Amino acid sequence: MKWRTLAVGLLLSALSVTACGRQGSPGGSAAPAVNEPAAANVQVAGSPTFAAMQQRGRVVVGVKDDQPGLGYKDATTNQFTGFDIEVARLVASQLGYAADKIDYKTVPSAAREDAISRGDVDYYVGTYTINDNRKQRVSFAGPYFVAGQGLLVRKDDSAITSKDTLKGKKVCSVTGSTPIQRVQQQQLTEPENIVQFQTYSQCVDQLLNSQVDVVTTDDAILKGYAAQNPDKLKVVGDTFSTEPYGIGLNKDDSALRGKINDVLQASFDNGTWQKIYDATLGKSGSASSEPQLQRY
Ligand code: GLU
């Protein structure tokens, strides 16, 4: 699996060198699945965020950096890879910014609304579920993917098979996420058995060390961790929620929201979305097709 990924990565980077004569910039994303050239003369009338990007000459994108297959930063190369990163790059390219004009800023789940509303990031692409609660502080383009809450356990565990088998088990998830809220609201385990961290990789470390019994969040995220460590980890049971992923934006910037929705719709229609998906998430076994946009 690792060799295959490496081989595909090398092939893609060879292609991207041929295509545009250079490799990914430091801290950029490695081996893009789709190398869209930056669109020329883009205008987004009435968008304060776009005006700020133009003044800066760069785009600041909020992402996750520890979710393999979605938003992941390689510790040795410092390069970002994954489905969310590719979506972020596609949007940037259609706003007129090539890959070397993107700055990635890692923002954990609990800090997203603050980072977006303060303008620390121009937009956010990182397994960010669209919901009414969050819409009070930010807005969303999309959805561009639909995940569902699942369970990750140690390979030798046969006791945890569904959300109804979590009582008495130590359940780990992330502060400020929809999955942890669901565990609390549906009382899937006792309050003292709920363990919270800022990131899912911290939960996965605790699972591997047997400090917790299960990690719960979106299946797409969990499948990425299981694929990294197939001898020790497995995803079990059916999903038990619907998590439509949106691109988080400033609440008042409806012009940018409309523009990004147009970019997403075009990528659904012209096959770009499918190419990005096949090169990233599709590999860890997440099945999906383009969702319906929620324009508002
Ligand atoms: N999609 C869920 C959420 O937005 C869980 C994943 C995450 O924490 O990013 O809360």
Task: Quick: pLDDT tens for 220-263.
Answer: 999 999 999 999 999 999 999 999 999 999 999 999 999 999 99
The predicted pLDDT at position 30 comes to 55
The predicted pLDDT at position 290 comes to 82
243 lines ligand 1 (CB under 6 A): yes
The predicted pLDDT at position 266 comes to 96
CA distances from 212 to 164, 198, 223, 238, 239 (A): 17, 15, 18, 20, 20
Residue 134 burial by Cβ neighbours in a 10 Å radius (0-12, 13-18, 19+): buried
216 lines ligand 1 (CB under 6 A): no
Q: Looking at this protein, which amino acid is placed at residue 51?
A: A
84 lines ligand 1 (CB under 6 A): no
149 neighbors 222 (Cβ within 8 angstroms): no
CA–CA dist 193, 182 (Å, integer): 14
Instruction: Report the nearest atom of ligand 1 relative to the CA of 128.
Output: 4
Instruction: Report the nearest atom of ligand 1 relative to the CA of 179.
Output: 5
Tokens of 119: 């303008």
Average pLDDT in the 101-120 region?
Answer: 98
The predicted pLDDT at position 256 comes to 98
Residue 16 has pLDDT above 80, yes or no: no
Closest by CA position to 289, among listed 279, 118, 278, 163: 278
pLDDT band at residue 102 under the 50/70/90 scheme: very high
Backbone torsion region of residue 61, taken as left when φ is above 0, otherwise alpha when ψ lies between -120 and 50, otherwise beta: beta
The predicted pLDDT at position 243 comes to 97
128 lines ligand 1 (CB under 6 A): yes
Average pLDDT in the 184-196 region?
Answer: 98
Between 74-78, 177-181, 184-188, 206-210, the lowest mean confidence (pLDDT) is in 74-78
pLDDT band at residue 7 under the 50/70/90 scheme: very low
CA–CA dist 285, 296 (Å, integer): 31
pLDDT band at residue 21 under the 50/70/90 scheme: very low
Cα of 244 to ligand 1 centre, how many Å? 10
Whole-number percent of the chain with pLDDT over 70 = 88
Instruction: Report the nearest atom of ligand 1 relative to the CA of 67.
Output: 9
Residue 22 has pLDDT above 50, yes or no: no
Average pLDDT in the 50-73 region?
Answer: 97
HEC profile of the chain: CHHHHHHHHHHHHHHHHHHHCCCCCCCCECCCCCCCCCCCCCCCCCCHHHHHHHHHCCEEEEECCEECCCEEECCCCCCEECHHHHHHHHHHHHCCCCHHHEEEEECCHHHHHHHHHHCCCCEECCCCECCHHHHCCEEEEEEEEEECEEEEEECCCCCCCCHHHCCCCCEEEECCCHHHHHHHHCCCCCHHHEEEECCHHHHHHHHHCCCCCEEEEEHHHHHHHHHHCCCCEEEECCCCCCEEEEEEEECCCHHHHHHHHHHHHHHHHCCHHHHHHHHCHHHHCCCCCCCCCCCC
Residue 138 has pLDDT above 70, yes or no: yes
67 lines ligand 1 (CB under 6 A): no
The predicted pLDDT at position 17 comes to 34
Average pLDDT in the 124-146 region?
Answer: 98
Cα of 148 to ligand 1 centre, how many Å? 10
The predicted pLDDT at position 44 comes to 96
Cα of 52 to ligand 1 centre, how many Å? 27
CA–CA dist 156, 44 (Å, integer): 53
Instruction: Report the nearest atom of ligand 1 relative to the CA of 181.
Output: 10
Instruction: Report the nearest atom of ligand 1 relative to the CA of 217.
Output: 5
Average pLDDT score over the chain:
90
108 lines ligand 1 (CB under 6 A): no
179 lines ligand 1 (CB under 6 A): yes
Residue 274 has pLDDT above 90, yes or no: yes
pLDDT band at residue 26 under the 50/70/90 scheme: very low
Cα of 150 to ligand 1 centre, how many Å? 12
Q: Whose CA is nearest to atom 8 of ligand 1?
A: 177
pLDDT band at residue 13 under the 50/70/90 scheme: very low
